[in-house]
Copies of this chain bind each other. A is one copy, B any other.
């Protein structure tokens, strides 16, 4: 039995730059119609010139493929309305990082003073530009996201017209917050639907499953699965696929990030066929995001899958994917665009 998915979107993607960009962008562009591209390069994307140049590099890396990179800026509280208006259609969202909280986030927000943030967030509200947030405090690793919920609430209350997207949520506290405020939305990754801390550190330590936010408790994963499988209209798929070279993962001081781009659609299909319906996956992986992102224009792409074993490569270039060398149960049979 064939399964089709229309115009899948990855609403949270790291493509990096240079050789890594060249390696990973085509892997996302193969199966996704488009993706929200994270701006945490070194230095982070914070001008129109940088954004357009990065977009060109992405288009160059995905030449001949049907793939739309939805570009984002690295949040700074100094962005004015005029500055943001000048991006016209080139800017899809702005990503806010607390300072130092994850890979290349050193220039992020330190402290969350509402008055300091007000001018930029007011401008974004008026221009209807969504704010994507990496929501972790610098507290204890298992508490960071739950502690950040009060900051989400502060933002949601003070900027009721701002669409705030809680990126890669991992806890039941974030799931509960979703329904308390009309203007809170969320992305959920594939790996947080699959993993708990047990998978990362319960047996041997597994560097390729180490990510930020770290996978949490079984009841947290259950809360995520519940809203994802029900295709809650305020949640959407964002892989947070984050490639690092193998040596940076398998070493003393392993970098955070799970590389899921090449297998995300196949594994999501398996999960939803087992626990939900393909209609709900269609909404989770495309429909919800289009609505949340103000009727996003999406390139047409039809993915046909079948229940057929697929042996995941042990490595793509120098990047080890999730399920490296293992067999997954769905394969992509046809891609039409």
Chain A residues within CB distance 8 Å of chain B: 140-142, 196-198, 200-202, 204-208, 210, 214, 217-218, 249-256, 320
Q: Which chain B positions have C-beta within 8 A of A252?
A: 206-208, 249-250, 320
The answer to whether B140 touches A197 (Cβ under 8 A) is yes
Bound together, the chains give a CA A253 to CA B255 distance in angstroms of 15
> A207-B207, A250-B252, A254-B207 given as contacts; is B196 within 8 A of A214 (CB)?
no
Q: Contact: B142 with A254, CB < 8 Å?
A: no
Partner among B140, B206, B214 whose Cβ is within 8 Å of the Cβ of A253: B206
> Main secondary structure on chain A at its contact with chain B?
loop
Contact B142 A217 (CB under 8 A): yes
Query: Are B142 and A205 in contact, CB atoms less than 8 angstroms apart?
Result: no
Known: A141-B202, A207-B207. 19 other contacts (CB 8 A): A140-B196, A140-B218, A141-B197, A142-B217, A200-B201, A201-B201, A204-B255, A204-B256, A205-B210, A205-B253, A205-B254, A205-B256, A206-B253, A207-B252, A207-B254, A208-B252, A250-B250, A250-B251, A252-B320
User: Are B254 and A198 within 8 A (Cβ)?
Assistant: no
A217 to B141, CA, bound (A): 9
Closest to A254 in B: B205
Interface-central residue, A202, A206, A255, A320, by most chain B CB under 10 Å: A202
Determine how close the nearest CB of chain B comes to the CB of A256; give it in whole angstroms.
7
A201 touches B141 (CB 8 A): yes
A217 touches B254 (CB 8 A): no
Once the chains are docked, how many angstroms separate the CA of A204 from the CA of B100? Answer: 12
Residue on B nearest A138 in the bound complex, by CB: B202
**Chain B residues near A251 (CB-CB < 8 A):** 250
State the CA gap A250–B200 with chains docked (Å). 15
In whole Å, how far is A215's beta carbon from the nearest beta carbon of chain B? 10
The 6 closest A-B pairs by CB, nearest first: A205-B254, A141-B202, A204-B253, A205-B210, A141-B198, A250-B252
| Docked pose: A140 CA to B202 CA in angstroms | 7
CA–CA, A250 to B253, complex, Å?
Answer: 9
The CA of A206 and the CA of B214, in the complex, are separated in Å by 14
Residues of B contacting A205 in the complex (Cβ-Cβ under 8 angstroms): 205, 207, 210, 253-254, 256
The minimal Cβ–Cβ distance linking A39 to chain B, given in whole angstroms, is 22
CB distance from A174 to the nearest CB of B (A): 19
A196 to B143, CA, bound (A): 13
Can you give 5 contacting A-B residue pairs, CB < 8 Å?
A141-B197, A142-B142, A204-B256, A205-B205, A207-B252
Question: CA A204 – CA B197 in complex, angstroms?
Answer: 15
